[in-house]
Amino acid sequence: MTSPRPGPRRARLAPLLAALALAAPLAAAPVDPAVAAEEPTAQVTLTRADVTATSVTLTGMVTNTGTVPLTDIRVALWRSPDLLLSPEAVAGAVTAGTTTPGTARVVEETNRDRLGDDPAQEVPPGATLPFTVSGTREALGLVHASATWWAGVDATARAGGRALQPVGSARTLVSASETPLPVATVVELSAPPRQVKKDLFIDDGLHTEVDGGRLDALLDAVEGSGTTWVVDPSLLAELEDMADGYRIRTADGTEAGTGADAAAAWLGRLRALPTGSGAVELFGSPDLPALAALPAEVLRTAVSAETDANAPDGLARVAVLDHPDASGLALAAQLGGHVVLLDSGNPHVHVRAGEVDALVASEETPLVPSSALLPDTALNRAAVRLALARAAGGELRWADSPEAIPADTTALPPGLVPATLADLAALPAHDWAPPPAQTPAIGALDAGGLGRVLELRDRMAAYAAAAPASGVGEYVDAQTARAASRWWTGEADAQSAWLTSVEQRVALPQGDLVTLDASPRFTMTGRTSEFPVTVTNRIQDPITVRVVASTDNPQRIRLLSPDPVEIPSGSASTVLVPAESAGGGVVSARVHVETADGHRLTPDREIAVETTNVGTIGWVIVIASGLVLVVTTAHRIRQVRRQGKGEDG
């Protein structure tokens, strides 16, 4: 048997045990920061994403952002087959912190790209290499005909001879659609009302807008991009009035406006635009939900009449609704052609509420990617826009200021095509239940404001009828419609200032256009007579009026209305009212002033009319005297004849 030899064996193990004892504390010691800083890292940037009916291709760059060289850099196509179909799902993805579950598993050779000519060649810090990965949609699991998915790449690399390890990744959204998606930007050419009457404006603000201001810049944008435009016929009417000269109100009266040439030039540029890209909205840009909520048929009629009278030929009609509700939507369908909803909260571009179709426009800044997962890059902006348009069926942006016009109206991302309102209206509609009628207090006009507008309308109508040469009559419907403009929403002070200016033009502070003065009692001394009344014109224009008189007993005394009379501004005229009597006594008469077409201007003035029989007695005396004279003369003639016969005999 072999005997053990423990002595020499222990001698050989002793150095090994000592080395292990020294290595143990070294293994437990913390990693040197300098060593940790040498971990390989890279920035992966996607620059292009192409989706066809059969394939997906992603292009980008990998930049070595670490401090050590990288070798054998590889990029694999990552994708998530989970569908993002609805606008809400896409919007949620834009701000999400994580993607839906996915994989970078290589199922086709083109799913992976090894960067550089030689995998062993070192890529120093700061260097960048391009990549392209692709795959068939069927193999990648992205087979839905119209959908959005998460996609991207995962990058791996070696450093210092170590094994492959992840160094970076990038994600984006890719979308597929069976047809290109229609998008439109509509520039609204409208402004707050400023016209008081023909050739008179509340201020010169409209001159500022068309001469280097907001409206000038909006028209520049339309001319430069060919976007769709919508014009308010109220704005056209005001500019046409300015173009031939006008005056503006001042604290001391009025002064000549200086924007006639600028107004004419702006109108000329607008008329040069192709009508195929334009449309006309309702006169005054009315707040339709407020009009629908109020008992204001006269306002709705005024809007329709003024739109018909002032809309340029050849332009489609558009009804625009802010804060739309059910009643406002119904009114818009009644008044306009295309119905456009602003601030509706509906994400779809074309909706149907009952039997009413409407287009949904956004005034908000487009959703911009800004998360760590989906950073703000040109590719991601285009990807988000395409994904939202696909989910909504299209895109409609609304701009009433230069800042609201997107910079990319001419260069659209792949998959998007420019469209008109008619193109969008031809898209399939999504059913929508609009909110119930809202209180008009949040709109341009409430019940109190309506009362003021209706009173002003009556005053203007009376003024126009009394003073037809004043020009006020041309603007009764126009000012009625403008009073309900959605430009006044949230601008009650500006609305009140404009209304006050119009009110001052057609009424005195005391409120009487015309006054009537007459004696409370009039006595007739014959069968016919005339009694005087005094009519005073208290407005700044000549008037044509007539005095209307009647009695409570026309069988006894009848009053006749005299012919109309013209009275200069600030003057008084005495009008004689004819009276005819058929008997004695006292009757009550009523006298008032009205326009030539029957619009009453003053209340009834009560007058007591009395007749006496003095005239009748006089005629009796005259007739009796005549009879006595005739009888006496005949008797004398007979006496003379008898006397003559006696002398002859």
Angle value at C-alpha 432, between 426 and 433, nearest 5 degrees: 145
104 Cβ contact partners less than 8 Å away, ≥ 6 residues apart = 76, 77, 78, 153, 154
Please classify residue 36 by burial: count the beta carbons closer than 10 Å to its beta carbon, then call 0-12 exposed, 13-18 middle and 19+ buried.
Answer: exposed
pLDDT at 310: 95
**pLDDT recorded at residue 408:** 66
Angle made by CA atoms 203, 208, 214, in degrees to the nearest 5: 125
The rounded distance, in Å, linking the Cα atoms of 456 and 542 is 20
Q: Is the pLDDT of residue 341 over 60?
A: yes
Q: 182-439 in CATH: which number? A: 3.20.20
Helices (H) and strands (E) in the chain, counts: 17, 30
**113: pLDDT strictly greater than 80:** yes
Kindly report which listed range (185-199, 345-359, 415-429, 459-473) carries the lowest average pLDDT score. 459-473
Query: What residue segments make up the domains of the chain, in order of their start?
Result: 36-176, 182-439, 447-506, 514-616
Q: How many CB atoms within 10 Å of residue 180?
A: 15
Is the per-residue pLDDT at 104 higher than 50? Answer: yes
3-state secondary structure of 463: helix
CATH of domain 514-616: 2.60.40.2310
Q: What is the pLDDT of residue 3?
A: 38
pLDDT higher than 70, residue 35: no
Q: How far apart, in whole angstroms, are the C-alpha atoms of residue 500 and residue 66?
A: 71
pLDDT tops 90 at residue 218: yes
Confidence band of 410 (pLDDT split at 50, 70, 90): low
pLDDT in tens, 220-242: 999 988 789 999 999 999 999 99
Q: What pTM does this model have?
A: 0.79
Same fold, 182-439 and 514-616: no
Reported as a pLDDT band with limits 50, 70 and 90, residue 280 is very high
pLDDT at 477: 95
Determine the pLDDT at residue 343: 82
Specify the pLDDT at position 160: 85
The DSSP-derived string for 307-376 is: HHHHPPTT-EEEEEESS--HHHHHHHHHH-SEEEEES-----SEEEETTEEEEEEB-SPPP---SSSS--
pLDDT band at 438 (very low <50, low <70, confident <90, very high): low
Q: What are phi and psi of 57, to 5 degrees?
A: -130, 130
pLDDT of 319: 96
Average pLDDT over residues 338-348: 90
d(CA 128, CA 44): 10
pLDDT band at 622 (very low <50, low <70, confident <90, very high): very low
pLDDT tens across 494-528, in order?
Answer: 999 999 999 888 765 456 789 999 999 999 888 89
Identify the CATH assignment for 36-176 out of 3.40.50.880, 2.60.40.2060, 3.40.1710.10, 1.10.3720.10.
Answer: 2.60.40.2060
Give CA separation, 38 vs 41, 74, 169, in Å: 9, 19, 19
């002032």: which residue's tokens? 310
Q: Which residue has the tokens 């997962």?
A: 373
Give the chain's end-to-end CA distance (angstroms, integer): 230
Confidence check: pLDDT of 11 > 60: no
Q: Strand 430-431 vs strand 350-353: parallel, antiparallel, or unpaired?
A: parallel
* Whether the predicted pLDDT of 621 surpasses 50: no
Mean pLDDT for all residues in the chain: 86
CA distance 61 to 47: 8
Distance of alpha carbon 255 from alpha carbon 249, whole angstroms: 7
Query: Which pLDDT value is given to residue 445?
Result: 83
pLDDT value for 349? 95
pLDDT at 634 exceeding the cut of 80: no
Please report the pLDDT score of residue 640 as a whole number: 42
Name the residue with tokens 């008329």: 271
Show Cβ contacts of residue 506 under 8 Å, excluding neighbours closer than 6 positions.
Answer: 456, 459, 460, 463, 472, 539
